[in-house]
Chain A
Amino acid sequence: MAETGRLTAPARARRWVQAHPVTTLRIVIIVAVLLVWEGLARSGWLYRDVVPSWVAIGRALVVTLSDATFYWHLYTTFYEIGWAMVIGGVSGLAVGILLGGSKLMQRAYEPLLYYLGPCPKIIFFPVMIMWFGVGPGSKIAMGAISCFFPVALNVAGGMREIDKVLIRVGRSFRANTWQMVTKVYMPAMRHPIINGVRLGLGVCLIGTLLAETKLSNAGVGFLVIQSYTLFNMPHMYSLLIVLFVIAIGANALIGKLGGLDQIRRS
């Protein structure tokens, strides 16, 4: 290793590239996209601001992030997603347990869920607007509906997969129904539950933001559409970057959730 000190800078760079091929390739693609973008922005081929320069986007991002009302909109979006997850998750869990616990319920209702599940939820949006108004209510409803299906279907499937002997153990110790649910069924279903929540969070983000961009008066989705109608492209791109970061954050959170099953319970 004594040699390393005498290596020239380019030689050291080459060595680093050889040692980190994956990272290098990633950096290459990002830099390439940024360069092409910037080239397009400066070429003048496209109408002004359709592809704004990174400088303009960066400046708009600073403006966005230093604007107090932006944080209110951001809060609104998080608030909607949070409640949508709680409502969709809890109802999905309850329905999933009901379906998984009863053959009759399963035969009667599970096909319905299978058909409705992949249906684009946005078709319910007009109804939700009429029921819950243009504000956060209809967005929460959209997110909750989206989240409900994957949670319910995963829980129902997970319930049937439970090791039957564990249920017999619980019963042999005379656990009541509530104890069976909280101390046997739920922990035994932790993997499908986490999986359902994972999928649910993804579609919940889609449902909520899509609803915000369609018809709303608050939220990041609303800001995006507003800046679009005002043709403030740098601002719109800065918001898209924010949404991108939120999506990455949600993914990281989901990754954490995925790791939850490794976390030991007391």
Chain B
Amino acid sequence: MSAVAMPSERDAVPGAAEPILVVDRIVKRFDTPDGTLTAVDDVSLSIKPGEFFGVIGPSGCGKSTLFNVIGGLLDGYDGAVRVGGETVRGPHPAIGMIFQEESTFPWRSVIDNVAFPLEIAGMPKAERYARAGHFVSLVGLNGFERRFPAELSGGMRQRVSMARTLAAEPKIMLMDEPFASLDEQTRLLLGDKVLQIQQELKQTTLLITHNITEAVQLSDRIMVMTYRPGKVKRIVDIDLPRPRTSEIVSSEAFGRYVAQIWNDLREEATRGLLDDESRKLRAGGPS
């Protein structure tokens, strides 16, 4: 157990406020039929309030595992996750999660999906519907309140999941490839939406992706992960002006960041490509 280790120096944000989220030397192993698999190996992060932090890495490198550890949904790991200095054991009220998989409740209408966390928290009916309605329109789904997930497109369902997590008003948003199943244009426009909402609500965001464009478009910093075991390869600061919109994608500085990260990623991606599991890798290339 390396649980007693100090937060590592290299991840401290210079001159920043107290970090709101600290990931301290996380190691997560899985027992598989072929032996022990180290999915996340000694990952440390320190994220300050309001920061947009991107995590990028090839398919199967341990991003979702890290996501679930931070969200308190996995245990049996070494190291610690701290929110505002408090060690996380189980799902933390300050953290909201948007999952990689399709995660709307098929038996609930759009508005009832979005109202779910409020219902769990015991908010009175009228109040929670008012609040849920606000977040439904925030993600641009006005008029679809009474529809059911089966009647929506994939992108719309992702927005429902997003609105549902936003409705809980978490201080920290964890997003695991929320746009993975979308086409490039929708992805960019939804990315704009996420940025706009994040700025409005002053949320701290951790976005997991294997799409470089998306990562650079949205993030203040990007962590590149290695493939098997999932280690921190590099953390890149993205010095692009804010507010950003998807138009920034065509700028020259943007292109340089993409090239730089692609360079870091190529080696890992190639290793990942040799692996059976990296079917989805294509989305990680420069676009």
> Which residues of A are at the interface with B, using a C-beta cutoff of 8 A?
163, 165-166, 168-175, 179, 183-184, 187-188, 190, 264-266
B-side interface residues, number (CB < 8 Å): 25
A187 to B108, CA, bound (A): 9
**Given the known A-B contacts A165-B103, A166-B105, A190-B107, are A264 and B117 also in contact in the complex, defined by CB atoms under 8 Å?**
no
B91–A172 contact, CB under 8 A?
yes
When chains A and B are docked, how far (Å) is the Cα of A171 from the Cα of B107? 18
Question: Which A residues lie within 8 Å of B91 (CB)?
Answer: 171-174
Cβ of A36 to closest chain B Cβ, rounded Å: 50
By the criterion CB–CB under 8 Å, are B103 and A264 in contact? no
Binds A, one of B41-49, B94-102, B238-246, B270-278: B94-102
Q: A168: which B residues are within 8 A, CB to CB?
A: 68, 73, 97, 99, 103
Complex contact A266–B119 (CB within 8 A): no
B90-134 near A? 1/0 per residue, CB < 8 Å: 010101110101110101110010001101110000000000000
Does the CB pair B99–A173 fall under 8 Å? no
Measured CA separation A190–B105 after assembly (Å):
12
B230 at interface (Cβ–Cβ under 8 A)? no
Q: Are A174 and B112 in contact (CB under 8 A)?
A: no
User: Are B148 and A165 closer than 8 Å at their CB atoms?
Assistant: no
* B residues apposed to A, CB below 8 Å: 68, 71-73, 91, 93, 95-97, 99, 101-103, 105, 107-109, 112, 116-117, 119-121, 148, 168
Q: Of the candidates A165, A173, A188, A190, which one forms a contact with B116 in the assembled complex, judged by CB atoms under 8 Å apart?
A: A173
- Do the beta carbons of B107 and A187 come within 8 Å of each other? yes
CB distance from A263 to the nearest CB of B (A): 10
Complex: A183 Cα to B112 Cα, angstroms: 11
A166 pairs with B120, CB closer than 8 A: no
With the chains together, A190 CA to B52 CA distance in Å? 39
B172 to chain A, nearest CB (A): 12
With the chains together, A6 CA to B101 CA distance in Å?
65
Query: With A166-B105, A174-B93, A265-B108 as given contacts, are A179 and B120 in contact (CB-CB < 8 Å)?
Result: yes
Would you mind naming 24 contact pairs between A and B with Cβ atoms under 8 Å apart? A165-B102, A165-B103, A168-B99, A169-B97, A169-B99, A170-B120, A172-B71, A172-B72, A172-B73, A172-B95, A172-B96, A172-B97, A173-B91, A173-B120, A173-B121, A174-B93, A174-B120, A183-B120, A187-B105, A187-B107, A187-B108, A264-B107, A264-B109, A265-B108
CA distance A183 to B71 in the complex (A): 21
| CB–CB A175/B120 < 8 A | yes
Cα of A188 to Cα of B106 in the assembled complex, Å: 8
B residues within 8 A CB of A188? 105, 107
A185 to B95, CA, bound (A): 23
The distance in angstroms between the C-alpha atoms of A266 and B113, with both chains bound, is 10
Flag if B99 contacts A165 (CB, 8 Å). yes
Pair B99/A171 contact, Cβ less than 8 Å:
no
CB proximity of A183 to chain B, nearest CB, Å: 7
Cβ–Cβ < 8 Å partners of B120 in chain A: 170, 173-175, 179, 183
